[in-house]
Structure 1
C-alpha cells in the first residue's frame, strides 16, 4: 500500500540525515538525491534509468 504519511520530527530528521549520507557517498548534492527520491516516488524506478544524468 502506497501513501503519504506526515513524518514526525524525529522521522523527518532521520530521513534528511539519510539523504545527506547518500549524497556524500555518491558525491552529489543533497538536492540531487532529493530529486531522485521525488522522481522515484512519482514515476517508479524505470524513470531513474533515463539517459539524462540529472534533472
Structure 2
C-alpha cells in the first residue's frame, strides 16, 4: 500500500550456490539478510529499524 505519511526502505543480501540448470536445481544452503527502516515524512516520530536473518538447509 502507498502512503504519503510514511517512507519504508529495505535492502537485502542473499548467498546461495550458483545453479547449473537456471533455478531448477535445489540449492542445499542459502543465507539471507534483510534490513528495513520505516520513517514518517513529517519527522515527528523516531524511525523504526528491523533486521531479519534467514537460513535454509536442504538435505
Which band: TM-score by shorter chain? Answer: under 0.3
TM-score, normalisation: structure 1: 0.18
Larger radius of gyration: 2
TM-score, normalisation: structure 2: 0.18
Q: Which has the higher contact order (CA 8 A, sep 6+)?
A: 2
Q: Which has the higher strand share?
A: 2
